[in-house]
Amino acid sequence: MGSDWPLVSLGDYCVKIGSGATPRGGSSVYKEYGEICLIRSQNIYNDGFKSQGLVYIDEDAAKKLKNVVIEKNDILLNITGDSVARVCLAVERYLPARVNQHVAIIRPNPKEFDARYLRYVISSPFMQKVLLNLASAGATRNALTKTMIETLEVSKPPLIIQKNIADCLESLDDKIFLNNETNQTLEQMAQALFKSWFVDFDPVFDNLLASVDFKLESLENRLPDNLKLKAQRRLAVLNSLENAAECKASLIALAHELQAQLPTKEATQAAVQILGKTAETPVKANVSANPKILAQHANTHFPNEFEHNEQLGWIPKGWESKTIDELCKINPESWTKKNAPEVVKYVDLANAKNGSVGEAIEYSFSEAPSRARRILRPHDTIIGVVRPANRSFAYVNEDNLTGSTGFAVVRANNQNCRAFAYFSLTNDDCIQEFTRIADGAAYPAIKPEDVAKTYCVYSNNKILDAFESIAGNIMSGVARNQTQTKTLTKLRDTLLPKLIAGEITINKDI
């Protein structure tokens, strides 16, 4: 049992405890690509290693850090600043690597400690509190010293029990990681489809090219130079398809059908055939570079000409520019003292990131933050109006949530605009524009009116219905994975302290 497990000083059972250094020259010697990673505190989180912001150094700089070479299964611990005590395992695919002076390497003796188990111990709520208390004892900045780490007392069960505990928790973490990776891929798919239809206008170019039998010279006098260049690029994509000839033949048949305004059985069958074949093609994670997803949706709902629009430039003929508030309500509902529930599940700006909502915090309404006022419904889009560059936005999948007044809540008037509104407001170009117009040097922010007056290209209900059918299904898959991830995370966080304390035992076969 846990009460029988000895408490030992970490330094007595580790073959290495030590931090690195910043290479001479600092950030000026960092490289975007290379063979040797320099791992910094921003890469280390309790839920795992994050590659965002990872930098590289050359061989000369690495040789000067030869005492802090990271090995597989090393434990990486942040030892300074606001991120102090965050901990994760080194990830083998990022080796060889070094650490800077803000990160400590903890390398346990493998005959005494399972590194995975020890990482879970250090990331447990109790040990995190211990480390934060130690780090805050200094006069100026939060910091953990080598001596603090070496004298840290941890529970040491038999090695086989350590392995069983680590296996159990790691199996949950692996599933959580897989769900997160899957959701990133799913959202990339939906983003690529949005870009194809409503930014690059690929189906319109397909229909235009097909109307001239894919002879670019026939478009010489029909398009301005920038559209000619896009037509050339689109033709190159179509030519790169494995079934390029079949695809182009089907598009030509469809173009003839459009021209004649009389649907023919052969053309319809040809279009359906190519749509079916491309729809069955697996989509890779890098879907923006996958031409097959871009070629599968040319149909009679898309025009084959362009016209100039005052707000948006060249857009498909018959389409128009609209502002978001013409399609959606902005901040449609809020809690007041009269209508507020007794309890709210609160989502703040820090809890909505790059498309998903984290674990909401439950408060009684009387004790909730004063900003907990926005009523959120499933399929709402929430956009953080403060520091938009932080990308605090999400597609709401859960009921009974309350958002911060720091969000602009966008609710589509019609079902077929839900996914369309979300991707219109959260694509990179739009977030960059929000960042550009944000007022205030210390507290840059946009207004809900800025979100409301964002222009988007409006096609027609048939196209929006088709987009919602595809993208909406993708977002539903994301929602299912998010729900499962939250359940797994709660289970892991509940088991973690109980397993480490020996309150729960695990059969060694688990």
Q: Are 467 and 419 in contact (CB under 8 A)?
A: yes
pLDDT in tens, 294-317: 334 445 789 999 999 999 999 999
Say what the pLDDT of residue 257 is: 61
Phi and psi, residue 23, nearest 5°: -55, 150
For residue 369, pLDDT beyond 90: yes
Say what the pLDDT of residue 265 is: 40
Q: Are 124 and 497 in contact (CB under 8 A)?
A: yes
Say what the pLDDT of residue 139 is: 59
Say what the pLDDT of residue 236 is: 92
Residue 31 pLDDT level (bands cut at 50, 70, 90)? confident
Out of 15-29, 298-312, 404-418, the most confident range is 404-418
Average pLDDT score over residue span 158-184: 93
For residue 86, pLDDT beyond 60: yes
For residue 43, pLDDT beyond 70: yes
For residue 63, pLDDT beyond 90: no
Average pLDDT score over residue span 432-445: 87
For residue 286, pLDDT beyond 80: no
What is the CB neighbour count within 10 angstroms for residue 266?
A: 10
Average pLDDT score over residue span 53-79: 89
Say what the pLDDT of residue 268 is: 36
Average pLDDT score over residue span 229-237: 92
Average pLDDT score over residue span 132-161: 89
User: Regarding beta strands 44-45 and 103-108, do their DSSP bridges make them parallel or antiparallel, or are they unpaired?
Assistant: unpaired
Average model confidence (pLDDT) for the chain?
86
SS3 for 46? coil
Structural domains in the chain, CATH included, are: 2-156 (3.90.220.20), 178-319+469-480 (no CATH), 324-458 (3.90.220.20)
| Separation of alpha carbons 216 and 23, rounded Å | 54
Say what the pLDDT of residue 180 is: 87
The sign of the CA dihedral 497, 502, 504, 505 is: positive
pLDDT in tens, 314-352: 999 999 999 999 999 999 999 998 999 999 999 999 888
For residue 408, pLDDT beyond 60: yes
For residue 290, pLDDT beyond 70: no
User: Regarding beta strands 393-395 and 361-364, do their DSSP bridges make them parallel or antiparallel, or are they unpaired?
Assistant: unpaired
For residue 397, pLDDT beyond 70: yes
For residue 499, pLDDT beyond 60: yes
Residue with tokens 């080796």: 95
Q: Hey, what are 217's tokens? A: 């010279």
Specify the amino acid at residue 300. Answer: T
| Separation of alpha carbons 203 and 18, rounded Å | 57
Nearest CA to 383 out of 360, 359, 403, 412 is that of: 403
Say what the pLDDT of residue 234 is: 92
For residue 89, pLDDT beyond 90: yes
> In sequence order, which ranges of 74-124 are alpha helices (DSSP H)?
115-123
460-478 in b/e burial notation, b at 16+ Cβ within 10 A? eeebbebbbebbbebbebb
| pTM of the complete model | 0.78
User: Regarding beta strands 401-404 and 343-347, do their DSSP bridges make them parallel or antiparallel, or are they unpaired?
Assistant: parallel
